[in-house]
Amino acid sequence: MGFPKRALQIVGGVLVVYALLVATHLGEFWPFSIYPMFSQAGNPWTRAMVREMPSQTDPDTLSWDAVSLQSLPGASYPLAPKGINQNDVANYVSKTDRWTNERVQGLRSLFTKGRVLSSPLLVYRVQGTLVADTVAVTATPVLLFEPDTTRLHPSPTARTVASTSPPS
């Protein structure tokens, strides 16, 4: 068998293996599928944000409405310096379909393990979606952690992931 024929067989074999790998992974191949910027570009996303509210915040007058990032009350709560993994908080907030007492206590334990809350913390579900040529981002309060109590969003429909899509 001549060199050109053997080279064509090798190249053809590599292309067949590549095509099979890509076909079985819905068009995604390893180097690109692990990076969300390639595999999930343009899809809506959900993350979490925690804001530290002033100690004198009255929970009864707190607004539970969805707001833009520029309108968020309080100061940003630094998760990493407190030993809290941002992905853990984001997974609780984005993947919880229904907030049961166990889920609420599980998320609260991330903030209270080995520490005492000195001021209320407001946990937001931040959602972004591609609208025309821009990204629309809204933040909806989900939970308020006070030093001695936890308050869940008062609207039952806002407690579910499916019902809190960003407004158009």
Span 43-61, pLDDT tens digits: 888 899 999 998 887 877 8
Which sequence spans correspond to the domains of the chain? 3-33, 42-159
pTM over 0.85: no
Strands (E), the chain: 45-52, 75-76, 121-131, 134-145, 150-152
Cβ distance 159 to 99 under 8 Å? yes
Closest CA relative to residue 152, chosen from 117, 105, 115, 112: 105
Residue 70, SS3 per DSSP:
helix
Q: What is the mean pLDDT of the chain?
A: 83
Residue type, 46: T
Q: Is residue 107 classed exposed, middle or buried when 0-12, 13-18 and 19+ CB atoms within 10 A define those classes?
A: buried
Q: Average of pLDDT values for 84-107?
A: 90
Closest CA relative to residue 109, chosen from 145, 141, 139: 145
Cβ distance 157 to 125 under 8 Å? no
pLDDT category at 128 given cuts 50, 70, 90 is very high
